[in-house]
Structure 1
Amino acid sequence: MTTKNEPERGLSLMLNRAEVMSDFCKRIIEKKDKFSTNHPRSSFFANTLTQAIIRAGGISWFIHNTGSPVISMYENKLHHAFPKWRHLSQINRCYYLQKALNQKCTQTDTVPIAMTIRLSHEFAKTIIGNSGAGYLLERLTLKLKRSLNRSPDIWLILEATTNELDTKNKGWPKRTVSWSKGLLHVHGAIALYENEKAIFKKIVRDLNDSSNSKFLNNELRLKVIENSGWVDYCHKNSFLNDCFLAGIQRFSRSNSLHSLARKLYENDRSLFKAVLRSKSGAN
């Protein structure tokens, strides 16, 4: 990966696709006979099935829809769903992090806000140089605590993929995702009171420290989260983002949010297993 400064957009990443795919295939071949016994072979299927149940409506949906096509199709393999927390995929964990954030917002009268942050060239390089998302969360949390006298719950993920630019149409983005060029930016969610949005915007502006007017116009987007679609959006193009940001921590979250998310998941997992046992006993 090489980088390039684009003052109007931030830190541009250039990826050599041939080298990335060659390295990826080499790693797969090297690992094919070194499967870790600590990682169940059914993990991918377990997480896929778990994600399908979560997106359909979660445990409450499962309890009342045991005759649905999804359930009927995998009736003999349902025991694989809802694996132990340590084997849960990033996107499934994030569903529960968002569930935990929503619950905390309800309890504190804060609002769950979706955030998209563009990163200036210098700040982006600093984040990469300090291993990624953990450093960014640390900087945001420190400044939020100083400004608000509290530490809002937050989760965030680094993304690099961007759409191809159409040189024939004033450089407007095309629908296709670029496999050779990326732009480092951030997605995530945070719990804020309405009057704290302006303070958060100022914190992001101070961290970016950019004077480019076009960059500043697109520096930050905040929007109230209404459904789980935001989690899906934040995890789009995961494989390609991992290629662009290989070796860099892409995800981070508040410790208190992580604790509650895990507790909510363990409760759902226990209930899911109980429903399966009950269904098996009835048969």
Structure 2
Amino acid sequence: MKQNYTRRTANLKARKKAHRAKKIRNFRTTSEINKRLFSRDAMRLAADSVKGFLEGTIVYIDLLSNHLPKTLNNKPYHLPEWRHISEQAKGCFYQLAGADIEAQSDLIAAPFTFNLSVTLWKAAAEDKSPDVTYLQHRIKTTLKRALKRAPDFWFAYELNHSPNNTGKPHLHGTILLKPTEYKKARDAFHQMNGNVSPDFKRHAIVFSSGKRQRQTKELGGIYTNLKWALYCTKERGFTRYFYLPRQNTVTASRLLAQAAKQYYQQTRQHQSNVISHR
């Protein structure tokens, strides 16, 4: 009897110790935090470095690898593993992977801004799943029904300063559309919002493909795509701190996320080769 009690006590202590270790592990180490911050800064520096490079053919990985910073804080800088980069950096690679798919297909990587109605915002906030997960599922199912296919997309959920403290919830991102699908996609976004005022509806969904094409011709493809991705995630810190604590604010459809991860791994390998040959 005493042996059984001792064994149960030891097992309980072991479980408690493992539980405490798991709770502690939920907090990122300084090294992990730095990796995330550095990956974000690396993409910002790369964007500024490639401004004006007008690629005749799209060789994003080679060009990007050569213009990523070789050092940060006076130390050699190697891109970390995918799981260690920030949401802002992942947004950049979602965008670059989308542009890569665009170059090899009849699809257009269409930047969009979608303002959420109060009804849709409350539905996302009240759902048991995280806000971004709920919105991603709604967009996927609504567009699939409207377009008869499931387009790839990514977006950042943003809430910013506003006089009435509502945060003006909206999404910035990119969706891969066929030229003939814009109207159906726009109608699908309006459907998600439900009944809204004519003025709100007029500005609820905006596609800016024309602006992106002009900027690409003037400033280059990598610069245009990176700057859009960084703009999309500019309020991430504010959004997480005040509205979505401990939630992700950036997401992508499954296939686009896979393509972005592969794109990142190739870029990471190229960047490592560039540094090793210096």
TM range (shorter): 0.7 to 0.9
Q: Is the 8 A contact 1:133 1:156 kept in 2?
A: no
How many residues were matched structurally?
Answer: 230
Amino acid aligned to 1:88 = I
Q: How does 1:76-225 map to 2 (within 5 A)?
A: 76-78=74-76, 80-130=77-127, 131-162=130-161, 180-224=165-209, 225=212
Bigger fraction of residues in helix: 2
Q: Is the 8 A contact 1:134 1:251 kept in 2?
A: no
The offset of 1:213, in angstroms, is: 1.3
The offset of 1:154, in angstroms, is: 0.2
Distance (whole Å) between structure 2 residues aligned to residue 48 and residue 245 of structure 1: 22
Task: Write the deviation string for residues 216-243 of structure 1: whole angstroms up to 9, x where unpaired.
Answer: 1111111113412211211113221112
TM-score by length of 1: 0.71
Q: Is the 8 A contact 1:91 1:231 kept in 2?
A: yes
Change (3 A) 1:61 1:206: closer
Change (3 A) 1:184 1:76: closer
Amino acid aligned to 1:237 = E
From the CA coordinates, give the structure whose radius of gyration is larger: 2
Q: Is the 8 A contact 2:46 2:67 kept in 1?
A: no
Amino acid aligned to 1:219 = A
Gap runs ≥5 in structure 2 = 1-22, 51-59, 217-223
Amino acid aligned to 1:151 = A
Distance (whole Å) between structure 1 residues aligned to residue 194 and residue 242 of structure 2: 24
Change (3 A) 1:96 1:44: closer
Change (3 A) 1:39 1:128: farther
Task: Write the deviation string for residues 57-87 of structure 1: whole angstroms up to 9, x where unpaired.
Answer: 3764577679xxx65x749512x33111111
Task: Write the deviation string for residues 118-166 of structure 1: whole angstroms up to 9, x where unpaired.
Answer: 11111110011222111111111112222222111100111111455xx
The offset of 1:258, in angstroms, is: 0.8
Amino acid aligned to 1:215 = F
Task: Provide the residue aligned with 1:40 in structure 2.
Answer: 32
Amino acid aligned to 2:42 = T
The worse-fitting range, judged by mean Cα deviation, of 50-59 and 258-267 is: 50-59
Q: Is the 8 A contact 2:117 2:196 kept in 1?
A: no
Amino acid aligned to 2:46 = I
Q: Is the 8 A contact 1:101 1:257 kept in 2?
A: yes
The worse-fitting range, judged by mean Cα deviation, of 57-66 and 260-269 is: 57-66
Change (3 A) 1:86 1:249: closer
Distance (whole Å) between structure 2 residues aligned to residue 269 and residue 35 of structure 1: 26
Q: Is the 8 A contact 1:119 1:184 kept in 2?
A: yes
Distance (whole Å) between structure 1 residues aligned to residue 40 and residue 187 of structure 2: 40
Q: How does 1:242-257 map to 2 (within 5 A)?
A: 242-247=240-245, 248-257=247-256
Distance (whole Å) between structure 1 residues aligned to residue 73 and residue 241 of structure 2: 36
Q: Is the 8 A contact 2:65 2:267 kept in 1?
A: no
Task: Provide the residue aligned with 2:230 in structure 1.
Answer: 232
Q: Is the 8 A contact 1:182 1:244 kept in 2?
A: no
Amino acid aligned to 2:243 = L
